[in-house]
Every structure is written in structure tokens, then in C-alpha cells.
Amino acid sequence: MRRVLLFGSGTELWEQVQRTLASRPELDVSAARSLQQVMAELAAFAPHLILADVDAPGLSRLGILDQLARRPGSPPVAILTAVDSAQLAVRALRQGAVDYVVLTPGTLARLPERLGALLDAARPPSAEASARTAGRHDAHFLDSPEMMHVVDHQGRIVDANRAELEALGYSHGEYVGRPFLDVVRPDCRQTVHEAFGAVVRGKPVQSLETTLVTKDGHPMDVEITAFPETAGSHVVVVRAIMRNITARKHDEHRRERRHQQQLQTQRELTARSQAELERVAAELVTKTRLATLGQLSASIAHDLRNPLGSIRNAAFYLKRHLGAEHARIRPFLDLIDEEVQKADEIITNLLGFARAKEPVKGPVDLRKLVECAFAQSRHGPGVECNMQGIPERYVVWADHSQFRQVLLNMIQNALEAMGEKGELAVEASRDEDYDTIVFRDTGPGVLPAIRHRLFDPLATGRAEGIGLGLAICRQIVEAHGGTIDLLEGEQAGAAFRIRLPREPQGQDG
């Protein structure tokens, strides 16, 4: 016979429930009106199921669930009430109730059948089955090398074997009775809680990976397999087997880090390759433009120099034969000479692209060449050239004529930028492979808009310039195997750096 204990307030409704259930021959029904009576009936009557009111006497709402949760071996509890609340029903089921029945005339008539299903689920295991379970527990549980534990339907640890206690650092007394979630790392608890809920509903969990925290605070990666142990269709306890996979996870993390590093390296190589392709493409475009410009220059330079020569000769003739009465005309003739000279320099620069030659390198005294180039440059009386940064008898390995052209262009650019007053400083230094020459001026600096194309042909920041000086410098320096660039971060003026390979056997200086 199935034993059912009613725990309610003794109202007419509960009297009617008791009469309905007592009329069924397969049920043995008893009633309690206080928690003390319930505890006494648990020992004397040993009910298979408790039907409790949501507001049982002497307890807070659903308080009976909390009370019985603290008592090992308590029978399942179904809530029987007139309070129709979905929120309250969910709360009751989460606290361990096996059912939530709202009493109406219809549900009261069907109550015996509903209780029959609950009692079937709550049928305790037979003595023979219990003995078999205990035998398995003794033989495989206590001394297994794998971590094992048993939890009740509320997730509290009922027992744990020696391997698990030693791995986590707890004594048996410290470990048993606490919620298993206490030893799960906080960020993993939700996943473990959901998996435990599935097991309580009868669905085993295979190979759940999570992280525990040992008593001394160290993380431990484990793989959990959990399965329900039932009595009839009711889950009595949940058994779990855990395997320490910390070393494996470390290996996986190490492989993942190595894989990410390889991906990063591959991305960097791809980026470098892409940048190199873009550089080569830009260089090809530049060379194509230079070649086109050179061809154009070569075709028109001869035709331009002939009439320029005629203009220069005519101006010279007029200067020789004009009398004193035409003195006011003489400045205009000087202006013609100056402009013809500028035009001739432009033509010379244009021809530099068309007639680029391989440098014939030899030792070049840098200080003397700078002095010569500065003396030949057009500059105001307030402009100085400071060469204190050039060591005495500093020799570079270059084509004398071509490098002189580079120095002339660099110095002339600086002088035109500074105007009538300023200082041009030239510095030189060397390492094992390169000579480095830096030109610093006190002018206004380089416009940001042309920095990225400063060395391209026809790029200029001055209204009177045509933008060939730096392009020629780059062409010559690169033909020497060197580099030329604009130094960034200068507080005032502009600074250009030239790097030239040293003589393979070394040079004096």
C-alpha cells in the first residue's frame, strides 16, 4: 500500500482532499498540522509522498521544501494549493517539488490518478537493488583511480571517493554536504548547473569539460560524465566520474597559441608581401614616368637650347654696344641673362633623366665638395653654411660629378627655402656599412600635402619651382646603392638624410 502524508491547515478543502484519498483502497493516508508532526510521521508512518499546502502551518511560503531539503532521505513533496500562480509553481519546482497541483473540482476528482503517477515515480528501490548498489559503491567507488562523487537531486555532495578528495585537497568531512557548484569556477557554474538539471531529468551527460577550483585556489580542468540513478522513474541520486584533463588543456592552449602565432606570422608575411608588391608597382610607375619625362626632355632640350643661346648672345651684344645714355636698359639685360641661366639649368635637369649614367665611383672629399657647391649657389648675404658636423678629411665613395650635382640641388633647395637669412648645417657620420649625410635648414619646412610625393618628378611646394631637384637627387643616390629621405619629427625647418654605401675595402677619413 502507498503511504501519503497530508500537511495542510485543516480547512474544509483539505478535509475534502483527505476524504477523497482515503476512499482509495490502494492508499494509506495520514495528516499532519505542524512541522513537528511531519517529522514524527516521517519516522513512524514513513510516507512515500508528502502533499503539502503552499502556505503550510508555521512555515513561510514553500518553507516545507527547505525543511525537508536538509533532511537526507526525505520523500518527494508535491504542492497542493488553491493558489493558481505560474510564478509560484516555477519557484516550487525549482526548490525541489515534484508537482504543483491547483485544486479545482476537476483536479480534485482526478487527484488519485495523478498521485498514482507520482507514487510510481517515487517508488523506493527494493532491498535487493539497494544491496547491489551498495556493493558497486564499495567495490568501484572508494578505491577507483578516477575521481568519483555522488550528489542528491539538489546538487549536494552525498559522497566522494579518495581520488577526488585528494585531487581537490578536501577531507571527507569538509567535502560531503556542500553543493558541488561550490568547487566549480564561477564562470563555469551556469553550464554545470544546466547539465545537472538535464541529468536530474534522466538524461546522462557525456564528456562535459569544465574547470574546478581546488581548496588551495588552483584551477583544475576536468571532464565529467554524469548519469542518474533511479528508483522506478524517479531520480534518486546523480553519480559522476571526473577525469583530470589539466595537462591536456594546457597542451591544447599551447597548440592554439602556436597556431595563432603562425597565423599572425602568416598575416605579417602577407602584409609585407603586399607592401612589397605595392612598392614595386609604385616604383615601376615612377620609372615609367621618369622614362617618359626623359624621352620628352631629350626631344625638346636641343630645340630649346638653340633659341636660348641666341637670346643670350643678343643680350651680350646689346650690353657691349649700348652707350651710357641707355644705362636704364642694362638691368633688363641682366635680368634676361639670369632667366636664360635658370632656363638652361632646367634643361640640364631634364636631360639628367634622359641621360642617366652609371656612377663611376671614387674617393670624394665631402667637406671640399660642400664648400664648392655652396660657393656656386645663389644665396643671400644673411645665409650661412655650417660644416662643423663634417669631420676633417671626410671621404665618401661616390661619382664626383654626380654627387656634386646632388649637393648642388640639396643646398640650392635649402637656400631657396630660407630666403635672405638662415643657416644650413651639414653633418656626416658613418657606421660599418654606410656613410650618412644630413642637411638641416632653418626654413619653413616641408608642406604636409607633398611629403608623401616629395621625391616624385614635378612635385614642388614653391610657385617658381618645377620639382626636379629632389627627384634627380634620388635617382643619383639610388644609382649609388644608397637612400635619401626626409627626416620626420623636426621642430623647425627641414632635414634630409642621404645614406651611401661605404667602399667595400673601407676608405680613409
Q: In whole angstroms, give the CA distance from residue 238 to residue 241.
A: 10
Tell me: pLDDT of 132 over 60.
no
Residue type at 414 in one-letter notation: A
Nearest CA-CA partner of 180 in 160, 205, 199, 163: 160
How far does CA 367 lie from the centroid of its chain? 52
Say if residue 434 is exposed, middle or buried (CB neighbours under 10 Å; 0-12, 13-18, 19+): middle
Residue type at 45 in one-letter notation: F
Neighbours of 387 (CB within 10 A): 18
The model's pTM: 0.41
Q: What is the pLDDT of residue 482?
A: 93
SS3 49: strand
Q: What is the pLDDT of residue 297?
A: 67
Angle at 116 between CA 111 and CA 121, to 5 degrees: 130
Q: What is the pLDDT of residue 127?
A: 36
Tell me: pLDDT of 30 over 80.
yes
Tell me: pLDDT of 257 over 80.
yes
Neighbours of 321 (CB within 10 A): 8
Say if residue 411 is exposed, middle or buried (CB neighbours under 10 Å; 0-12, 13-18, 19+): buried
Instruction: Specify the DSSP class assigned to residue 329.
Output: G
Specify whether the CB–CB gap between 482 and 499 falls below 8 A: yes
Q: What is the pLDDT of residue 138?
A: 47
Q: What is the pLDDT of residue 231?
A: 59
Burial 105-123 (b: 16+ CB within 10 A, else e): eeebeebeeebeebbebbe
Per-residue confidence at 233, pLDDT binned at 50, 70, 90? low
Q: What is the pLDDT of residues 145-163, one digit of tens each?
A: 889 999 987 889 988 999 9
Q: In the sheet that 483-486 helps form, which strands lie side by side, from edge to edge?
A: 382-389, 421-430, 434-440, 495-501, 483-486
Per-residue confidence at 462, pLDDT binned at 50, 70, 90? low
Per-residue confidence at 461, pLDDT binned at 50, 70, 90? low
Tell me: pLDDT of 167 over 90.
yes
| Range in 25-39, 129-143, 414-428 with the lowest mean pLDDT | 129-143
Q: In whole angstroms, give the CA distance from residue 356 to residue 419.
A: 31
Specify whether the CB–CB gap between 50 and 68 falls below 8 A: yes
Q: What is the pLDDT of residue 128?
A: 38
Phi, psi of 331 (to 5 degrees): -60, -35
SS3 125: coil
Strands 77-81 and 49-52: parallel
Report which secondary-structure segment, H or E, holds 356: none
Q: What is the pLDDT of residue 61?
A: 85
Q: What is the pLDDT of residue 126?
A: 44
Ranges assigned E (strand) in 70-214: 77-81, 99-102, 147-152, 157-160, 205-213
| Range in 2-6, 374-378, 382-386 with the lowest mean pLDDT | 374-378
SS3 308: helix
Contacts of 339 (CB under 8 A, 6+ apart): none
Tell me: pLDDT of 264 over 90.
yes
Instruction: Specify the DSSP class assigned to residue 384.
Output: E
Q: Which one of 60-69, 187-196, 336-345 scores highest in mean pLDDT?
A: 187-196
Angle at 133 between CA 192 and CA 64, to 5 degrees: 55
Q: Which one of 17-26, 206-215, 371-380 scores highest in mean pLDDT?
A: 206-215
Tell me: pLDDT of 5 over 50.
yes
C-alpha cell at position 496: 634630409
Domains (range + CATH), the chain: 2-121 (3.40.50.2300), 127-244 (3.30.450.20), 266-352 (1.10.287), 357-501 (3.30.565.10)
Tell me: pLDDT of 465 over 80.
no
Tell me: pLDDT of 232 over 70.
no
Q: What is the pLDDT of residue 459?
A: 60
Q: What is the pLDDT of residues 334-360, one digit of tens each?
A: 888 878 877 777 777 666 655 667 888
Mean pLDDT calculated for residue range 1-17? 85
Angle at 334 between CA 330 and CA 340, to 5 degrees: 140
Q: What is the pLDDT of residues 217-226, one digit of tens each?
A: 999 999 999 9
SS3 359: coil
| Range in 124-138, 287-301, 308-322, 469-483 with the lowest mean pLDDT | 124-138
How far does CA 452 lie from the centroid of its chain? 30
Tell me: pLDDT of 288 over 80.
no
How far does CA 482 lie from the centroid of its chain? 39
Rg (CA), the chain: 49
Say if residue 207 is exposed, middle or buried (CB neighbours under 10 Å; 0-12, 13-18, 19+): exposed
Tell me: pLDDT of 263 over 80.
yes
Q: What is the pLDDT of residue 290?
A: 65
Tell me: pLDDT of 402 over 80.
yes
